[in-house]
Amino acid sequence: MALLDILVLIISAVFLRQWWRRWSKTGGGANNLPPGPPGWPIVGNLFQVILDRRHFIYIVRDLRKKYGPIFTMQMGQRTLIIVTGDELIHEALVQRGPLFASRPPDGPVRLVFSAGKCAINSAEYGPLWRSLRRNFVTEMINPTRVRQCGWIRKWALDNHMESLRRQAAEDGVVEVMAGCRKTVCSILICLCFGSKITEEWIVRIETVLKEVMMTTTPKLPDFLPVMTPLFGRQMTAARELRKKQIECLAPLIRNRRSFVDSGGNPSSSCLEMASPIGAAYVDSLLDLRPPGRGKFNEEELVTLTSEIINAGTDTTATAVEWALLHLVLNQDIQRKLYEEIVAIVGKEGPITEEQVEKMVYLGAIVKETFRRHPPSHFMLSHAAVKDTELAGYTIPADASVEFYTAWLTQDPDTWKDPDEFKPERFLEDGDGFDVDLTGNRGIKMMPFGAGRRICPAWTLGTLHISLLLARMVHAFKWVPLSDAPPDPTETFAFTVVMKKPLKAVILPR
């Protein structure tokens, strides 16, 4: 009997070992996935990442050194293909763009807010996405529309400058991020809905949408959907937040619809409609019928307008804060920028959008900010439209393809002194002079993505950043607090932000 027990134990041990090796293996094998770190049965690398207690990007950096420019991570029920090499990124997104232009399925929390993936960012590659993107490009960012809505930016920036003066007079210092977020949010609300609303309403919308953005970052149920029932409290909180989001934005949609249906009668709405019919983004959505579906309902319109406000507010305000950090720390760069502004508009201004486009050094500062502080270290998740290959490995259609792009801007083979902030590198004879921000000619940096899924509003966002910096530096000299110099430490929210928000003293010019 003892011998039989020993034999059973040996057989069980061998079986367990083979089972463990089979289900803990990541990459390779018959599926021909890219190589990757071994994981645990069922959960793969998920709990290893959680127990590591470092941000995911640091784990990816380490794995890149070991496995090269493409590798696999098994995160619960999701297979992640991590792509980090510039040539592979260019091949996937530009040379073979249509193959890698889709999105993976949304997790349960994100589905609460995406209205069935009814958004430009989250829609799968197909008729809905094409219809939404085409409409956005035509109605929101074509040059004629941008010029037509220039008054909105002037109105918001005038308010922004007055707010800076008031805050400096009352507190002696100004906090950059909060004011920039409110200003950009007010611009985008007016672009979307054509109406001017109270500052309190703007702040409420900004606060709720920021909360939505943080709530939809990856959570455990996204990787293990079978565990969603165990996260009932989180799902309930997400639905309550969605209700608040709708309550914030639905009145703007209803008032604009009434204004449009009345033929532009001002008395049809209880809000001040500042834009004529056709000039607000939501006007184009009211009667839009993508192939195979009817008009959008109110909840879908909330999702479609929210993504514009959310995407534009956070990235723009973050870029302005990082740029001003370097202007505060390096007064020589700030002096050169001020001299360029004065040479073009004079000491009294005003600064127009056409004049901003002529400011070469300002453009170099903005590009260097994108390089040194990209909005995110990863692009939004991609997916292949069908099983395909990349670098000789199989890329399944149900895998999430993650492009790690921060390494591109830190590569010493591409950039001289990559950790230093040098706007001059984007001037003639600099190592960034010929960089293509869209990535079409090659990938050196990609702050807006690349290929079919590149951010469609990247030119508009760059304009907003440039206008804010030009106006703020033209009016004030920005200097550090004597007892609290700026801290450039990063932290990770939806975008990569300053851990301690930038505060500075402003001196009228």
The annotation places the binding site for heme at: 455
Q: Alpha carbon of 301 to those of 115, 163, 220, 307: distances in Å?
A: 9, 31, 28, 10
CA-to-CA dists, residue 142 to 175, 200, 275, 279, angstroms: 33, 31, 16, 12
Task: Give the DSSP per-residue string, 440-464.
Answer: SS--S--BTB-GGGS-TTHHHHHHH
Are the CB atoms for 74 and 44 separated by under 8 Å?
yes
Check whether the bond before 229 is cis (ω within 30° of 0): no
Over its C-alpha atoms, the chain yields an Rg (Å, rounded) of 25
Half-sphere exposure of 172 (CA within 13 A, CB side): 4
Q: 144, exposed or middle or buried, with CB in 10 Å at 0-12, 13-18, 19+?
A: exposed
Residues belonging to the binding site are 455
Name the region of 392 (left: φ>0; alpha: ψ -120 to 50; beta: rest): left
Greatest Cα pair distance in the chain: 99
Q: DSSP secondary-structure letter at 264?
A: S
Which residues have CB under 8 Å from 77's CB, separation 6+? 223, 224, 225, 226
List helix spans (H) across 36-175.
46-52, 56-67, 86-90, 108-114, 127-140, 143-148, 150-171
Among 83, 317, 314, CA closest to 216: 314
Distance between CA 255 and CA 197 in Å, rounded? 12
Q: Residue 225 is encoded by which pair of tokens?
A: 């959907």
- Specify the 3-state DSSP secondary structure of 433: coil
Strands of the 476-479 sheet, one edge to the other: 174-175, 503-508, 476-479
CA distances from 138 to 134, 141, 319, 338 (A): 6, 6, 26, 35
**Which stretches of 352-441 are assigned E, i.e. beta strand?**
388-390, 393-395, 400-403
CB atoms within 10 A of CB 87: 12
CB 83 within 8 A of CB 195: no
